[in-house]
């Protein structure tokens, strides 16, 4: 996949009918970031709200109309102490105190949508992948790899048919 951007400067000339004067309008199309990068930057901003010092993760769910439907970030259960103040609870090398950003985003949806795109700062774990796809996510875009490329996960992705892709794999000039 390649995403391209172009920057234009063009001149529009008009002749005023009464005095035959020539007006030139210089119109500049500014370089815009691609929507994938735009939504990923919003996910990175949401991640800054995360309360687990091990990883601050953000997730943005976007509809086909390119409107944000929900956001989420990793934090503790409402009413529970945060990792940042009380420490992480680690089991099998994972903090179990936090609710993952993807789950928080799905919980923040106001209604059920189909064909959502998830923009996540980190590659989703198996459980979050299943939750996202069950919630109607048809495309998953992530920024950082998190080591989830193991056999059974790949088999599950083939069964479900939603293949996450890393935005960083695209050339910087393309996004």
> How confident is the model over 86-107, as pLDDT tens digits?
999 999 888 899 999 999 999 9
Domains of the chain (ranges, CATH numbers): 33-174 (3.40.140.10)
CB 56 within 8 A of CB 48: yes
* Alpha-carbon Rg for the chain in angstroms: 21
Which of 41, 102, 152, 159 is labelled catalytic?
A: 102
Specify whether 159 is catalytic: no
Of all residues in the chain, what percent carry a pLDDT higher than 90?
56
pTM above 0.85, yes or no: no
Return the minimum-mean-pLDDT range out of 7-16, 78-87, 112-121: 7-16
CB 144 within 8 A of CB 47: no
């Amino acid at each position: 996949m390649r995403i391209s951007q172009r920057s234009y400067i063009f001149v529009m000339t008009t002749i005023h009918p009464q005095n035959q004067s020539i007006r030139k309008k210089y119109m500049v199309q500014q370089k815009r970031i691609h929507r994938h990068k735009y939504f990923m930057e919003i996910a990175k901003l949401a991640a800054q709200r995360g309360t687990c010092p091990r990883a601050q993760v953000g997730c943005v769910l976007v509809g086909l109309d390119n409107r944000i439907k929900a956001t989420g970030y990793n934090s503790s259960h409402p009413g529970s102490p945060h990792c940042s103040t009380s420490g992480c609870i680690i089991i099998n090398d994972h903090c179990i105190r936090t609710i993952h950003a993807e789950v928080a985003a799905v919980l923040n949806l106001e209604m059920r949508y189909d064909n959502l795109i998830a923009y996540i700062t980190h590659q989703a774990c198996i459980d979050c992948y299943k939750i996202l796809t069950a919630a109607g996510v048809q495309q998953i875009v992530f920024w950082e790899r998190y080591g989830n490329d193991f056999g059974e996960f790949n088999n599950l992705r083939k069964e479900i048919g939603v293949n996450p892709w890393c935005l960083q794999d695209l050339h910087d000039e393309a996004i």
